[in-house]
Amino acid sequence: MSTLLVAGAGLMGSGIAQVAAVAGWDVTLRDVTEQALDRGRSTIESSLNRLVEKQSMTGDDRDGALGRISTTTDLSAAADADLVIEAVFEQIEVKREVFRELDQVAGESTVLATNTSAIPITTIAAATERPESVVGMHFFSPVPRMALVELVRGLKTSDATLDYARDFAEGVGKTCIVVERDVAGFVTTRLLSALAMEAVALFEAGVASAEDIDLACKLGFGHAMGPLATADLTGVDILRHAALNIHAETGEAKFWPPELLSRMVDAGDLGRKSGRGFFTYDD
């Protein structure tokens, strides 16, 4: 196994770190504060403990995975990584700044991946002098449970970089699809955003309840989860931001968030992580 640095210890970053460590990778989890790193590591420990309780993993395997994860606030740790996966806030300038720094500190052969769900890879890669080494690796939340990884080729992403990303993703147990054209939102976020924006609009207009809109998608289309429950799981704020990114790139009205979605973000009704979104959740 090789060495991975995950830049960002939030829900996505900690999940990526967990599945890599379980698969045998040496992982460095990086964030800007020790508090963020403590939260990330606690999230990983809790997730692994649940797997042990369910007898999906032994205690020894859990301890081995945790032992392969170290933490740091120093992004220069990327110098020792074979692969870096960025999982910071879904805002283009934040991501570009991370990649500018990675370009300075990462080894020449290091593959640089971004976990963005909507921002074009080419735009992020342009912050570096090595766009051929930058690839999109869009994991899904919660990472330990969701099987899909969306691999996205930027305009200058090399075949070798894409192949390396695929080998990594499949090695940690994921199934990949490849997005060959670097459009905003790729495949999955464009599909989800279009469906979710219409579902929110129907709910906002009082056409049907949130429960019935989701039930229609589950029973009528065979979806495992309805679009509004998916919005709550993803994060209402994350979904709104992704839709705005796609709208900014395409100008297509179907991606413009309904007013209700913006008001929910303003009110802090962000879905599961806040306890309330389109549905209400206990602790």
The average pLDDT across 200-226 equals 97
CATH for 188-274 (2.40.170.20, 3.40.50.150, 1.10.1040.10, 1.20.120.610): 1.10.1040.10
Which pLDDT tens digit goes with each residue over 83-136? 999 999 988 999 999 999 999 999 999 999 999 988 999 999 999 999 999 999
Q: State whether residue 6 is helix, strand or coil.
A: strand
Output the pLDDT for position 283.
Answer: 62
Contacts 24+ apart (CB under 8 A), 41-50: 41/9, 41/14, 41/69, 41/71, 43/11, 43/14, 43/15, 44/14, 44/17, 44/18, 44/69, 47/15, 47/18, 47/142, 47/144, 48/18, 48/22
pLDDT tens-digit map of 218-277: 999 999 999 999 999 989 998 999 899 899 989 999 999 999 999 999 999 999 999 999
Q: State which CATH number among 3.40.50.720, 3.90.1150.10, 3.40.1190.10, 2.60.40.10 fits the domain covering 3-179.
A: 3.40.50.720
- What whole-number percentage of the chain has pLDDT above 70? 99
Q: Taking each helix axis from N to C terminus, what angle separates 227-234 and 236-250, rounded to the nearest 10 degrees?
A: 100
Q: Are strands 111-114 and 134-139 parallel, antiparallel or unpaired?
A: parallel
Which residue matches tokens 């599945």?
19
- Bond into 120 cis (ω within 30): no
Which residues are within 8 A (CB) of 236 and not within 5 positions of it... i.e. 6 or more apart? 261, 264, 265, 269, 270, 271, 277, 278
Domain locations in the chain as residue ranges = 3-179, 188-274
Model pLDDT, residue 141: 85
